Structures are given as structure tokens and as C-alpha cells.
Structure 1
Amino acid sequence: MATMPKSLLWARTDTTGTDHVLFDDRHGLTARGVAPAVDPIPYTCRYDLATDENWAALRLEVSVEGAGWLRTLRLERASGRWRASTGEVGDLDAALAAAGAPGAGLPGTEEPDRLEAALDIDLYGAPLFNTLPVRRLGLLGAEPGQAHRLTMAFVRLPSLEVLPAEQVYTPLGGTSVRFASGRFTADLDLDPDGYVVRYPGLARRADHPPS
């Protein structure tokens, strides 16, 4: 396995959890991350992401594991079409029910054609994935105020259910980009390379003190 030359660590601010990623961004992005969290039940997410040289997503492999259960997902795009393959050991729904949490959807997607317009992947709770549209569209150097409406292949955790999600990215000037999805809006603080420093309501980089 190739070593990765760069590393970032985020602390979750919405729950107890972290996200540590090792990556290489010299020719698009190749990244491996580990993200434990406790909501709605304790789990550890491991992911492996690859984009093309223009930062459009090509492949995501994810495993999510908790006490007595494990789910896996491989999501890949080729010739403009998405394909998802999944696996499951144990019973996530039983673990959720024991914790008094709602049941999870099935991993993957039964309607991959609904993802046809997506060039980006968004993994729940993982700030790295916000960098994909920022870099792909050149938003740090874009005209402030111009909204970019995008379809994401959104991966829920811990279920690994994949859904199309409409999101809006609007450059605000400097290293700030406004993110919106439905009624939710957050102004993301980024570093000069487009990686999230502070995501209000979700996470902040461990190398930056709280503001």
C-alpha cells in the first residue's frame, strides 16, 4: 500500500468523534480516512477515496463497523454511470433498536440512475468531501456570490445508504464558501488549498484552535 504524503485531523463538534485522513493531492485526490463517532451508536468508519485529475469522484470504498455488525460499500463511476456493491455481516438494525435509535436504510442504492448527474460524493460527517466541488469548480478563485447547484452522491452513516442530494456551493470571497442543503446553511472556512478549517455545526481542524 502506497504511503500518503499529507495528513489532516478534524474534531467533530456535533457529536463525539474525529476524522483523520491521509492523502495525496498532486494529481487529483487519493485519500484514506478513519472516522469514529458515537451517534446514533458507536461506530468506526474507514474510507478510501479516489478522484480523477479534475477532482471529479471516481471511487469510494467504505466500511462501517460497530459491536456485532459490519457494513461495506464500494461506489464507483465509469462511463458516466454509478455502480454500488455492498456487504453486511451482523445486524445494524438490531444494534440501533437496542440503543433506542431508528432503524437504518439498506446500504447502497437500488436506483443508481438517480445519481447520473453527480460528479461528487459526500460522505456524512466527513469534511474532506467538501473539498471535491471546491477544487473541481475552482471556487476559491471564483466570483463571490455565484451559486453552484450540484447533485451529490450522498452516503449516509452508519447505514451506507446512497441517495442523490441537491447541494449549493457559493463562494464568498477569500477562503470562505457557503454550503447549503435544504434548509441547512453553513459558511465554511477553508485553507488556501480548499480543505475545511471550520465547518460550523459539524467539525473543526485540530490544528486550528476554536474561534
Structure 2
Amino acid sequence: MDTRHDTESPVRELMWSALAWPATEHLALRSDATSVVADGVVVALDERPTRLAYRIECGPDWTTRRLELRPHGEPGLVLHRRDDGQWYDDAGAGRPELAGCVDVDIALTPFTNTLPIRRLGLAVGASADVRMVYVQLEHGLAVSTDDQHYTRLGRDTYRFRSGDFTADITVDGDGVVTDYPGLFRRLT
């Protein structure tokens, strides 16, 4: 893990490897007193070769403001969350089906689990339910919602639940995912 300083704010360079299929991810994470910006690229072989670039912009409290997805060779997706909590696409059209969502979850990356972990700031033993904007890359970009549950089990461990799926995720001191058992492991 390298830390690079530029004139704006420090950038953390992170990488993950998928464990259940061939994939790797590179992320440049920048945060300062006014914003958090995550620029990532996932390269995977999941039914077919896939390259997905994403950019997530959050407020300093880790509340998602903007999501941009750029899959190689396919139309991209941009979603904005305005101060009133409503979601809109890049053309300004409302997305009422995303009401109640604060965070985003991109199926091919473990990083997006960090968003609710950081935003919620749960104490050990506490838990919370969250409704996520959920993005899958099956045949193009499929956007839906997903109800998820997070419980902080220890200093660096969170139990994640979505439907019948449960995983105990390990994070570093900044709440960034290091191990997602059976699915992703951060490279050091």
C-alpha cells in the first residue's frame, strides 16, 4: 500500500484480488475535510472479460453524492444524490425507485462495503439496516436496491447480511475492507 501526497490531499493506493473468479481491482482513495473521492478500476473474467471504471464522490461524512460507472465498450451510468436525498440520473431525471438509499454497492468491488461502515461509525455490538443503490454488471448495468444489515463485531470486524447471504468482513483502521472471506482479499 503506497501513500502519495499531491497538492490537494493524500491519496491511498489500494488493490484487491477476487478469490472466487479471476479479477483484480485498483483504487485511488482521496479524502479531505470537504469530500471523499474513490476512483477505481476492476478487471475481471465473469462470464466474459469485463473492465469497469468507477468514481464515487462522498461528503466528508461518507454520504454518497455521485456515482459514475464506465464499463468498457458499454454505455456508462451516472447517478447523483442531491441534498434532499433524492437520486437523479445524469440527464436530471428523477430515480424515485432509489428513495431511501444513501450508499452504493457495486457487485464487483469490496470497497463499496466501506461506505456504510465509515458513514455509520457503529460502536462494537451496534448494528444498522441500510438500503443501498445496488449495481450489477450482468448484461449491461442493472440498477436496483438492496436492503443490507451491518453489525460491528469487533474493532476491525463487521458482519454483513443481505438476504440469506452473510459474511464477516475485516477492515483496517480506516474502515477500508481488507478481507471479504471467500470473495476478496486486499493485496499489500
TM over 0.5: yes
The aligned length equals 177
TM-score, normalised by the number of residues in structure 1: 0.79
Matches of 2:51 and 2:178, distance apart in 1: 22
Residue 121 of structure 1, CA deviation: 0.6
SS in 2 for 1:156: strand
The aligned residue for residue 32 of structure 1 is 39
Q: TM-score scaled by structure 2?
A: 0.88
Instruction: Note if contact 2:9-2:31 (Cα within 8 Å) is conserved in structure 1.
Output: no
- What secondary structure, in the 3-state scheme, does the structure 2 residue paired with 1:114 have? helix
Q: Contact 1:54/1:136 (CA < 8 Å) preserved in 2? A: yes
Of 85, 88, 92 in structure 2, the residue corresponding to residue 80 of structure 1 is: 85
| Equivalent residues in 2 for 1:54-133, closer than 5 Å | 54-65=61-72, 69-78=73-82, 79-85=84-90, 112-133=95-116
**Secondary structure class of the residue paired with 2:60:** coil
Deviations 1:50-97 (A, max 9, x none): 0011111000111112xxx412000111121101249xxxxxxxxxxx
Instruction: Supply the distance in 2 between the matched residues of 1:176 and 1:26 (Cα, whole angstroms).
Output: 25
Equivalence for 2:49: 42
Secondary structure class of the residue paired with 1:129: helix
CA distance in 1, matches of 2:131, 2:79: 16
**Residue type matched to 2:136 in 1?**
R
Q: Report the equivalent of 1:173.
A: 154
- Return structure 1 stretches of 4+ with deviation > 4 angstroms: none
Unaligned segments of structure 1, at least 5 residues: 87-109
Indicate the structure (1 or 2) with the bigger Cα radius of gyration: 1
Take 1:137 and 1:3, find their aligned partners in 2: how far apart are those partners?
A: 23
What does the per-residue CA deviation read over 1:120-139, in whole Å, with 9 as the maximum and x for residues that have no partner? Answer: 01111211111111111113
Distance 2:20 2:137 in 1: 14
Q: Give, in whole Å, the separation in 1 of the partners of 2:103 and 2:145.
A: 10
Match of 1:154 in 2: 134
Give the counterpart of 1:187 among 141, 150, 168: 168
State, as a whole percentage, how many aligned pairs show the same letter. Answer: 35
Whether 2:15 is the aligned partner of 1:9: answer: yes
Are the structure 2 counterparts of residues 17 and 204 from structure 1 closer, same or farther at C-alpha, using a change threshold of 3 Å? Answer: same
The amino acid of 2:182's aligned partner reads G
Residues 80 and 180 of structure 1: CA distance in aligned 2, closer, same or farther (over 3 Å): same
The RMSD of aligned alpha carbons is 1.9
Q: Does 1:136 align with 2:119?
A: yes
Aligned AA (1:185): T
Q: Offset at 1:114?
A: 2.0
Equivalent residues of 1:4, 1:22 under 8 A apart: no
Gaps of 5+ in 2: 1-7
